[in-house]
Structure formats: structure tokens, C-alpha cells
Amino acid sequence: MLRSVEIIVAKHMGFCGGVKRAVEMARSTAESSAGSVYTWGPLIHNPQVVGKLQDAGVKVAGELEDLAGEAFVVSAYGVEHSVLDAAKAEGMRIVDATCPVVIRAHSLAFKLVEEGYQLVVVGDHGHPEMVTLKEALGDKVTIVHTREEAVLVKLRGRIAVMSQTTQSQENFRQIVGDLALRTKELRVVNTLCPAITVRQEEAEVMVEEVDALVVIGGHHSANTTRLAEIGRANELPTYHLEVPEELDPAWFAGVRKVGVMSGASTPEWIIAEVLRRLEEIGTQQRL
């Protein structure tokens, strides 16, 4: 039975600044355009928000042949130059909604390479932020996701290491420590997004205070997944869900305190629905 359940909601919830900016730019572009508006892949990693944007006229392109219309909105994570060039070739108006934090990280990467550093970036293979960086720098950058991958990197001369903006603090810290023991000169550049970092730090505290953790956000959202990983790493029952329909009352039998967190691309309306459903489950199980 769920008796006297206490729902503890994280302080930092909902859209971060970069996501909010991208969504607003895409929506306003659709409202002001007479023709088709496209993004390359999802604007952000939240299917529900992407669905609402599609209803508003922001279409998702998956093939270069799809890029034909009035405007092209660059996603919050950036986009490959090949895709951007294809959109420009079609005469599409370019609306750059790339997160400023990502732009800064990429600029720092280019500078480090220009200064002669061998660059190692801790990130997720296949993530748009990493794909665009690899496309731009090619063999001048090595992307690693795990400590095991980092061990295989042949280091030479001056080494610089940075991270994907949504990477796990702990993973970055461990890989930096490993690299530091293997080279005489290591330059560490912290490119972790502050809005993501503060959520991870809050998760580290929350897992010590609750009996179960609910993390709300896209299943393919890197920063949301990081929060769920923190809960599981602390052997806490952790549930990563996108919508309230995924909540199972059986998860909370005997639970006294439930922690609730969200990724940086999770809209407030979904958070409100999940909290409402949690209250209902608590009420039903107390009857």
C-alpha cells in the first residue's frame, strides 16, 4: 500500500533555455511562413513536442530529397554541413535554432584543433551534436563514450579533452582521470551544459532521499537518460517514461517518497499530467 506518499519534485524541471528557444523559433517560423517548414530529424528529443510542432506546420525531414520548402530550422543540436548545404541549394531560408551552449562547445573544439591539440571528446556516438562535430573535424577529433573506448585511443603529444554538452558528469570525470595518467600534457575544457549539470547534481542528492524515482522525458533524450542512470546506479527503483499512461501503480506499492525529475526537453504540460496521475495512484492505493 502507498500510505502517506510524498511526491518530491525537483527544482529544475521543464525546458532548458536552449530547448525553449528552439521550440519558439520553430513555431514562429511556421506561423510566419507561407510555404513548408522543415527540420532535419527531430528539433528536440521529445516526441510529444515534435508532434505538436508537426501539427503547427513544422515537418521532419529524413532524406535530403525531403528538403523543399520555404524555411529550414536547424535543430537545437546543430546539423551537418551537407544537410545545411542541401537546404540552401533548394533556396530555403535558414533559421538557426542551435543551442548557444552547443555552438560554444563546437567553437572551442575548432580552436583546440587549430592550436595543435589532439582532441578527444566524451560523447554518444550517433548523437547529432557529435555527428556534426565529427563531420567538421574528421580525423582531428576522436569521440569516445566509455572508459574502455578511451583506453584504446593512441595518445600523442598535447591532448585536449572536452565533452558532449549533455554528457554524464561522472563519465566525463572518469575518462578525464584515465587520460591524465597516460599523457604529460592534458588540457581539460568543461563543455558540459550548466542546465544539464545542475539536474544531475540534484539527482545525486534526490536519490538519497526517496524510495523510487520517476524521470520524465523522451526515451531517446540523452540528458533524460543520464538522470535515470543516476537512479539505477544507486540501486533505486527508477522509471523513465514519456507520458503518464506509462505509469504502473504496481511500481509504487509500499513506497513512501517518490522523486520526480524531468529532462531538459520535457514540456511542462507533460510534467503536470504525470504529477496528476501520480496523485491519483496515491489516492487509489490508500483507499
- For residue 21, give the nearest of 29, 10, 32 by alpha carbon: 29
Beta partners for 118?
Answer: 159
Q: Where are the beta strands (DSSP E) in the chain?
A: 6-9, 37-40, 58-61, 71-74, 93-96, 118-122, 141-144, 159-163, 186-188, 212-216, 238-241, 257-262
What is the distance between the alpha carbons of residues 223 and 271, in angstroms, rounded to a whole number? Answer: 16
What is the distance between the alpha carbons of residues 250 and 252, in angstroms, rounded to a whole number? Answer: 5
- How many CB atoms lie under 10 A from the CB of residue 65? 8
129 is an active site residue: yes
Catalytic residue among 63, 129, 229, 279: 129
* Opening angle at CA 115, ends 110 and 117, nearest 5: 85
What is the distance between the alpha carbons of residues 287 and 200, in angstroms, rounded to a whole number? Answer: 35
Active site residues: 129
